[in-house]
Structure 1
Amino acid sequence: MQIDVLGPVRARRGSEPVDLGTPRQRAIVAALALSGGRALGTDTLIGRVWGADAPSGALATLHGYVAALRRALEPDRAPRAEPRVLVTEGDGYALRGCEVAADAVELETAVAAARSALTVVPDHLRPAVEPARRLEAEAVVLRLEAALAGWRGEPYADLRDDADAQAERVRLTGLRTAAQELRVVALLALGRHGEVLPGLEQLTAEHPLHERWWALYAVALTRSHRQADALAALQSLRNLLADELGVDPSPAVRDLQTAILRQDPTVAGTAAPAPPPVDDLGQEPVPRREHFRESPPLPRWRLAGRRAELARLGQQLDEAEAGRPRAVLVTGEAGIGKSRLVHELALTAFERGFTVALGQCSAEGPPPLWPFRAIARSLEEQLDLFHTSVEQALLTAPPDDFATLDLLAHHACLAAAGHPLLLVVEDVQWADPASLRLLLRILEKAKDERLLVVTTWRRTASTPEVEEFAAASSRHEGVRLDLAGLPPEDAETLVTEVVGAPADADLWERTSGNPFFLIELARSAGSVSGSLTDVVLSRVRQLPEPTVRFLEAAAVVDLEFDLDLVSFMTGRDTTEGAAVLQPALHAGLVVDAGHPAPVYRFSHGVVREVVHDSIGHTERARLHRAVSTVLAERSQLRRVVQRAALVHHWQLTGGVYRREAWRGVLLAADAARREGAYAEEAAHLAAALELQWSDHEHDLRERFELLMLRVEACRWQGDWAGVSDAVDEAVRVAEQLEDTELATRAAISTMEGALWQVRPFGHVHAPIVEALQRALERLGPDQAALRARAQLALAMELYYGDDTQTIDALVAEALAVTEASPDLRLRATAYLGAFAAQSRPETLEARRRYAAEAVVLAGRIDDVRLRLAAEALATSAAAEAGDYATVRRDLPRVVELCRGRGLGTAEAILRVVQVPWLVMDGRGDEAAEPLARLEELSRELRMPNIENAVLATGLVRSFLDGEYAALAAFLSSFVDASAIPAGPVATVIALRAGHDELARALHDAVGVDLETRSFMSLMNAALALEIALGLGDRELAARVYPRVLPFAGRMCSAGTATPVGPVDAYLALGAAALGDRAAAERHAARARELVEEWGLPVLRQRWAELEERYLA
């Protein structure tokens, strides 16, 4: 019998449908199926079937419907025979002896299996699969299609608006979406993009805000040789997100768009899938000395029962010993004897020559790969196969990095290649995702090693990730053992073995044969409740009071705890703490964790849980406070894990120690700052700010100072969006305080450390502009330095306001004050602010002076970071001026120093200069690395316009290489994708590619912005001269030529970015458009001289081509 729920509920007996009768009867079956096989009380069942308006006679009607359903479900049941499918349990009903929600279970299992199997597709947004793994991807497609075929409509449709049904519908709909997406990924990896296009087009229409559908649709279009349509699709997504949510696409989608623009072969489907990354950690370990296998400890009593399970485990051990790697998953409820059974296997394996290594997962969120740290230590001690790369990977490498997991799996297989190996990982229901992925990776890599991997799993604490692991492990010759309670005779044996006396007659009935319950109740002579909590607490309460308090403190720390830490928490030294802990050790509640340091662990996770939950709220908060206090006082907080633990425990004080909590978190933030971990510092400060809200005694000035600390952390991290958010709130707080100086300090923070515009292109942030204007009205004559900084900050904020007169006046007045100041730091930072505020073509010489002065001043105060920031601006301005001798001399040195010092903003500015310079210098093959680094920085930094800089830098690379025809295919999408006006660039590309009609259409659509004064002004105007010649627009040339003429002798660029040739080259084109051949020849000759002076061979070639095209 099978019950299906993906649509109106239905029942099938084999292939034959079962008539479930009336809508109410169908709803009853659906409600019972929704409970997952658990019994539903009649009140709950009536509520689900009839809703809140159930009639008074609903109970009698329910019984009648159940009787009818039993006849339909079991037509052959004899009169008065007990039903086997729809059974009575307690005061309710349950479904038994049938597959409940079988179609939903199959969908969930298929998705879990597909996720695991599609590890053969490394990048799901660029799907590709090795030829040898195609069959695995094809199997995924077949299984997912079969599971999706079971979807007949809205799940649990018979239950209308029931809240639980609605929640399950959401979950199942998400699974369906995941299945559809995984199917598309597999088909794309197999090269079957034509099959997915119609479906993806429909899915993007049905789910217009689902980024993954759009991304996969774009990949399918690209692989169908429809790149323009692919880019148009991503632009549609961008528009929808902006209109509906006011956000941009995710970095992954933006990266995909850039890859399509660059015709990246991994997107086009022409490249083989990338092999797993290999680093220098991949070397094999070198044995250092003779070590010996260590026997698992002998158990305190013999194993009772479990004969069939031991036989199956013995078979798996035989297979592993013969070089056929195997996996075993042992499941069951808490205390059922999983660990005891695996211990017996370990003893047997050791006797047969296996090396045994054990790892234990924790419910308390330890660091990733926690169980494998113990396994690595054990293998080192037993086999001397521990390599420093393994320790480094376990402690520091990103746990979601494939190379890390592959390295660790490689070492596990190496160990098994030389020695038969039993790996045991207990309590995988608490395993972190990285540990689960590593387990699967070991099973995937193992081929002919003598390896047996055994895991234990408490099913009552299951998670989707563990369910997925269980499903995936079954595909690797996996065997699953589901443990139930011991039968009465084995229970009797166990109790006699443990306590030396027969069990009470009712003991088995009270425990259902659970070995842990049996032992606990037997030891306590059956005087306590049969519940696990009562058993654990009864044992705890038999301990001395100081030991109970010590265990409570340890339970707040974690499953595994450091004796020193808990001793200090309870006001003892380590020797006193060890003495207090002894009774718990003797009672078996705590065991030695086996580390060189004095570290102990609760004998079972549930012991720790019960002790932890028995502590009152206030006392638990006090103990969490004690953990953080000891960490702050006894450690120097140099390790990330220490700082994270301190913050975590303060957060768990639950508002009892509000003021101490946020102040305590500041210690972690300060320690992170000392280590240069600015992202971590910013995160801790965010936690402190959140905790501070619950402190009703905090004053606004404290809030202000905390916000300003976060501003500083976000600035060093390169998180300018975080800077802006914190500044906005700090300004509001300062104005509540009616403190003009504080409000000004906050408002100018956006300027401090900013090396380019602080807002997205074209945006003026009114709240800060208005705050700065108010500050300037209120600051007194004795606050000249602060006023100057406010003027510079306002000038920067007004950058896109197109009021250059006001900006220049603000800068001039500010510099008049700062240049007369003895404060060298003030003068240096003022010059950097003035540079950013006046980033326009006509201010180039002034900006070069600002940068040069700032370099000198920073050197005088020995501020390396400030000096490098100033040097970055000086180098970029040299490129803007065409001073490529300075660029050649300084750029390689400064860019590497900025990278080494973590100056992401400065490095990004220099990468924007470096890529086109290398291309123009004839070293285009070297440009790929800095462009990739710029893309990496765009993901690390939250800087305004950084994505546009990446897009423009990639485009100018192709532009300078003369790849006009390739670029022309994507012009419309490029114009739409760029937040910075790109119409003139696109029009020129179309002209150079010979697409005059496209050029005219682009020009008619977007024109040339000649009025806005920004870093784009010169490039727009110069390109307009080529457009005027190419399209025969003499009027445009007449308007623009006089504007460009003053900039002769310079590089034409968008500020420090995207150089496209000497300004004189475009003046020559403009003069030709005006019919002045003599002037055109003069400008052309000067352009030739400049490219020779600059020593840029590629630029020389591009200009020769333009002369041939336009002036010959």
Structure 2
Amino acid sequence: MHPQGANGLIRVEVLGPVRAWNGEVELDLGAPRQRAVLAVLASRVGRPVARGELIDGLWGEQAPVSAEGSVHTYVAGLRRALEPDRTHRAPAKVLANAGSGYVLRLADGQLDLVAFEQHLRRTRLAATSDDVDTALRNVEAAVNLWRGTPLSGIPGPFSEFERTRLTEMYLTALEQRAELMLRTGRDAEVVAELSRIVHEHPLREQLRGLLMTALYRSGRQAEALEVYGETRRHLAEELGVEPGPELRGLHERILTNEAALSGTSTPRPTERVTTRRVVPAQLPHDMGGFTGREAELVQLEQFLAGDDNVVRIAAIDGSGGIGKTALAVHFAHRIAERFPDGQLYVNLRGFDPQQPPLVPGDALGQLLRGLGVDAQQVSTDPDEQAGMFRSMVAGKKMLVLLDNAASTDQVRSLLPGSASCVVLVTSRNRLGGLVARDGAHRITLGVLSEAESVSLLEHSIGAQRVAAEPAAVSALVARCGHLPLALRIVASNLADRRHLTVDDLVESLSIEQDRLDVLSAPDDESTAVRGVFSWSYHACKPEATRTFRLLGLHPGPDISTAAAAALTGRPVPVIRRVLDGLAGGHLIEEVGRDRYRLHDLVRVYAAERAEDEETEAERRAAVYRLVQWYLHTAHLADRLLMPQRRPVPLEQPVQHCLPQRLENYEQALAWLVAERMNLVAICLHAHESGDHDTAWRLASVLHGFFQLRSHWEDWAVTHRAGLASARAVNKPGAVTVLLTSLGGAYWHHCQYDEALRCYEEALRLSREIGDRQCTATALNDLGAAYADTDRAEEALEHFRQSLEIFAELGDRGCEGMAMYNMAKTHQGLGQFDTALGHLCESLDLVRQTGDRRCEAAGLTEFAAIHHVIGRLDEARAQAVHALEIFNELGDRHGAARVLRTLGAVQRDSGEPEAARQSWTRALEVFDELGAPQAEEISALLAELG
């Protein structure tokens, strides 16, 4: 059924100005860009066109932020014009939704472009069968559909490209008609027709050859020779070349009055075989100094040696600037001699900044011409082109390199059918369909290793220059993110400017915001890092581009799907699909389940886009949602990890950033481990940006985790920032809490004086503000510090005071912790019975509150005392029990401490090998944490021999 309007059949014309009719009534198609939307849809009639393709076709790289909304508006306007009587809820019949885009539904007779192509197809079929009359009738029908410059007045990259393509088809049709007219003796008509056209297209030799033939047959030899002379002058002036061999041959035949030119057979100047024997060698030049990628080259060799019963396809994907084309071309040159029938190359322009992606029909035309098929013999029907291509390469050993593909659909019709052929495809997208349906072997490129990066520089600027500044070279390749394109740009700068040192270039790259300016190639914008990233960015749909640029505001090294949902204010299922799409286009990298990362240089580009395309209010709102999500989720994790700790007061979470759901200790610890570096970055960012309430609260809720996992540096840096923020907003209660916590971080760093100053200030301030809980905590912490510095009497006095306050407050857990510290102090004095008594009391108290970490610490001290007094079996049992708890909790430092005691018990029980194993495990942890106990354990292992 043909789509109809109220007055009759819908008709659309694009072979001239874009126009449409409903029956006999011409429709108002609106503004030029709205007509441009119809033109793009008409070029793909019956097939879906994604919104992103429409945006690219209308604006290219200059698409505004409002582009997607504008497309919606234009489509709505076209629907009103094409189907004015359609109700809002009724499905569209002419211009319908199709997935993430639209489809124009017109039958064959409703679009002049379709009719034009059908007439040309029938012309070729009839000419092949020597049915000249039918061929001539169809080509004349095709030419008569032309109404001037196609898509005239339509703006945008698509219309420019399509005008060129359609004009070429029109001229080819005129040439076919002239040939057929000459075959039927209509020489005078050809002269009249072509005399005007050759002046409009003076460099088209085929048209001039036909005009020369027609003039000669009409008895106008001198004029025919004058056309040749004029042609020769034009070609020399415009292109600096001579006429081609066919036109020169025709000139000679006219000069000699060849009799065959006077007949009504097919004229000799256009007589061509369908193909000529050609062995294409179209590979671009191999990149000089190609280095690295050894593992990938091995994979490609293995792929080449695979199943030779099917077409072998290798799909090389990766982000912009990662070196996909360089690898593919280098490998293609390495294996070229294995393909004696030739090597074909097509740049599919999937992410070209200047031109739209190559449509399969045009790509097939290039491949066929590369095989020697004359341009006029190439069908305009993509299916016919694909069939001809497969036929021509069948049984031949050919290598086909399809570079810069945008999608699987762009590639699939270009695949040979013969197992003797090999195909290499490069793309910034994953081309999952090519892998799943066509059996392609995927190779995903990452950045270069440091050694490969340095090697690349050596090939470009010389090994001597690299060796002269090894530290600067290492810093340089790191600043370039080991991205091949960035490395080649800096290498070019160094090679061109001999006075420039590597250290100079490192310094110029030190400011992250300016890094992309430095990594530009002034003589070739297509190789500038920023430009390469922009091609991928503008190929994305609007929601993906918004998500991408907001990711540039995230201060941490990676991001989870849930965090990205908070950042963007979108639901998790929606943002998961968006992130998968960005990862598929290699703008971001998937580093784990629901976890993504941006390359350092891509992050800089994303931040630039956010700065340019988001308002300050939008950026602040996005970051605020993100930090609140981290704060509230970290708070929830802290409550599950250490419920006995005093909770940090929080306001209600803002909309769209509810904390991640965590249900137990294991989930809380796993989340904190995964997000540790992000949490540190968020805390520091909040402090630096003036969000002081978030900074001090986040530092406070992270204290327990950092202590548990012995992340002392993170503990110190976040608490210094949090403390400064608490002071900035005059929160004395928060200041005291953070001072005592920061003191613990300093103590673990062996910065004893700084720790004591923190404890003493916390004690003084807590007494000033009357915070009894903080006073007792500061007394306990100060007492532990005194005990460790041989000030036992002062320590015990502070413990007694803290115990009184904790008992008064009813804080059984903290009372048990103070009792534990008192027991340790008595142990240090050799008062083992007193120490054991306090430990028993401490264990009773912490078990009542469920504080398993304090319980394990108490068992460790029990084991140590029993070891000293010779009760080795009890010591072993207590140490093993403590180790089990520490391992369950994920407390590595606690586990290492109890392993030190267990090893001593095992040594003194006559089990030196067991002792060695325990101390070796302890040493691994202490070494990793940079703990001072590592030296003691090393000495113990040395004593074992």
What TM-score does the superposition give when structure 2 sets the normalisation length?
0.39
Q: Which has the larger radius of gyration?
A: 2
